[in-house]
Amino acid sequence: MEAGRPARPVFPKLKDGTFFRAFCDKTLLSAVLARIPIYVVLNEDAPIWGAAYQALAAALPGPVRQSQRRAG
C-alpha cells in the first residue's frame, strides 16, 4: 500500500499499468504477485491515524475493534 504524499508522484504509473507490470515482473513470483491487491491511500494523515490506532491497541486490553466505515 502506498499512502499519503509519497503516492502522488507514482499515481500516473498506477493508473496506466506501468507500476503493476513492474510489480509483477518477477519471474518466480509473478503469479503470486499478480493476485496481491494494490491500494493507494491519498489521505496524508493516514500514517498518523495508523500510529494512533497502534498506540491505542497497545494500551488497551483485548482486541481493538476497527470501524467498518469506508470512504466513498
Listed by start position, the domains of the chain span 2-59
The cell numbers describing 72, all together, are: 466513498
The pLDDT of 18-44, averaged and rounded, is 86
Helices and strands, counts by H and E, the chain: 4, 2
As a whole number of angstroms, the distance between CA 4 and CA 23 comes to: 20
Side-chain-side CA neighbours of residue 28 (13 Å)? 0
Q: Which pLDDT belongs to residue 26? A: 79
Contact 3, 41 (CB under 8 A): yes
The pLDDT of 31-59, averaged and rounded, is 88
User: Is residue 59 scored above 80 in pLDDT?
Assistant: yes
The cell numbers describing 22, all together, are: 513492474
